[in-house]
Amino acid sequence: MDNFVECIRLEVTEDQQGFVAKNVLSLAEAKADGVSQPFAIYADAQMVGFVMYDYEPKEHRGYITRLMIDQRFQGNGYGQEAMRQVIGRLRAIPACQELQTGYMPGNDAARHVYESFGFEKAAVDDDGEIILRMQVRPST
- Please write the tens of the pLDDT for every residue from 99-110: 999 999 999 989
- Provide the sign of the torsion angle of the four alpha carbons 42, 43, 48, 49, taken in this order: negative
Distance (Å, whole) CA 64 – CA 55: 9
pLDDT band at 2 (very low <50, low <70, confident <90, very high): low
Reduce the secondary structure of 79-138 to three states and give it as a string.
Answer: HHHHHHHHHHHHHCCCCCCEEEEEECCCCHHHHHHHHHCCCEEEEECCCCCEEEEEECCC
119 backbone φψ class: left, alpha, beta (φ>0; ψ -120 to 50):
beta
Q: Is the pTM of this model over 0.95?
A: no
Name the fold adopted by 2-135.
Aminopeptidase (3.40.630)
For 45-78, the pLDDT digits (tens) are: 999 999 999 999 999 999 999 999 999 999 999 9
Distance (Å, whole) CA 37 – CA 27: 9
Beta-bridge mates of residue 47: 42
For 76-117, the pLDDT digits (tens) are: 999 999 999 999 999 999 999 999 999 999 999 899 999 999
**Segment (H or E) for 62:** strand 61-69
